A and B are shown apart, each in its own frame.
Chain A
Amino acid sequence: MHNNKARFLAAPYLLWMAMFIIVPLAVVLFFALTDPSTGQFTLGNLSRMGNHLQTFGDSIWLALVATVVCLFVGYPVAYAISKASDSQQRLLVMLLMLPMCMSFLLRTIAWVAMLEDTGLINRLFNAIGFGPFRLIRTPGAVVLGMVYNYLPYMILPLHSVLAKLDKHLIESAQDLGCNSKNVLAKVILPLSLPGIIAGVTMVFVPAVSTFYISQKLGSSGTRLIGDVIEEQFKQAYNPNLGAALSLVLMILIFLCMWIMNRFTDSDEVLLV
Chain B
Amino acid sequence: MKKFNKIFTIIVFVFLYAPIVLLIIASFSGGRGLNDLRDFSFHQYRELFRDRGLMQSMLNSLLIAVLSSLIATVLGTMAAVGIHSMGKKMRSVVMSVTNIPMINPDIVTGISLALLFVFFGRMFRINNIMGVFTILIAHITFNLPYVILSVMPKLRQLNKHLTEAALDLGCPPAKAFFKVVLPEIMPSIISGGLMAFTMSLDDFVISYFVSGATFETLPVQIYTYTKKPLPGRIYALFAVLFTLILLVMLLMNLLQLRETQRRNRKLVMPTNDL
Contact = CB atoms under 8 A, between A and B. Distances in A.
> Does chain A bind chain B?
yes
Instruction: Pick from A13, A114, A212, A243 the residue with the most CB of B within 10 Å.
Output: A13
B64 interface: no
B219 interface: yes
A28 B115 contact: yes
Instruction: Pick from B98, B105, B149, B205 the residue with the most CB of A within 10 Å.
Output: B105
B82 A13 contact: yes
Interface string B244-262: 0110011001001100000
Contacts of B86: 7, 10
B112 A27 contact: yes
B20 A233 contact: no
A264 to B, nearest CB: 15
Interface in B74-92: 75-76, 78-79, 81-86
Contact of B115 (A14, A108, A243): A243
A205 B20 contact: no
A56 interface: no
A255 to B, nearest CB: 12
Interface string A1-17: 01111111111111011
A23 B84 CA distance: 25
A56 B83 CA distance: 38
B223 interface: yes
A272 B196 CA distance: 12
B54 interface: no
B162 interface: no
Contacts of B35: 113, 116, 118-120
Contacts of B250: 94
Interface string A229-246: 110010000010011001
Contacts of B198: 101
B112 A104 contact: no
Interface in B124-165: 137-138, 140-141, 144, 146, 148-149, 163
Interface stretch (B2-10, B40-48, B182-190, B265-273): B2-10
Instruction: Pick from B8, B19, B250 the residue with the most CB of A within 10 Å.
Output: B19
A254 B96 CA distance: 12
Interface stretch (A79-87, A126-134, A164-172): A79-87
A115 to B, nearest CB: 10
Interface in B104-134: 104-108, 111-116, 118-119
Nearest to B120: A27
Contacts of B257: 87, 90
B167 interface: yes
Main SS of the interface on chain A? helix
A77 B238 contact: no
A228 B108 CA distance: 13
B97 interface: yes
B99 interface: yes
Contacts of A76: 5, 8-9
A192 interface: no
Interface in A12-51: 12-14, 16-17, 20-25, 27-28, 31
A80 B82 contact: no
B79 A110 contact: no
A216 interface: yes
Contact of B19 (A114, A152, A272): A114
Contacts of B231: none
Contact of A102 (B20, B114, B148, B235): B20
B97 A77 contact: no
B78 A254 contact: no
B111 A246 contact: yes
Given A13-B79, A14-B94, A113 B85 contact: no
Nearest to A99: B16
Given A110-B34, A246-B111, 13 more contacts: A6-B85, A7-B82, A14-B79, A22-B97, A27-B116, A31-B115, A98-B245, A103-B218, A109-B230, A110-B22, A120-B22, A249-B108, A269-B99
Interface of B: 1-2, 5-6, 8-9, 12-13, 15-20, 22-23, 33-35, 75-76, 78-79, 81-86, 94, 97-108, 111-116, 118-119, 137-138, 140-141, 144, 146, 148-149, 163, 167, 173, 195, 198, 201-202, 204-205, 209, 218-219, 222-223, 226, 230, 234-235, 238, 241-242, 245-246, 249-250, 253, 256-257
Interface of A: 2-14, 16-17, 20-25, 27-28, 31, 73, 76-77, 79-81, 83, 87, 90-91, 94-111, 113-114, 116, 118-120, 148, 151-152, 180, 201, 205-206, 208-209, 211-212, 216, 226, 229-230, 233, 239, 242-243, 246, 249-250, 253-254, 257, 269, 271-272
| Pairs of residues from A and B, 3 with the lowest C-beta to C-beta distance, nearest first | A10-B82, A13-B79, A110-B19
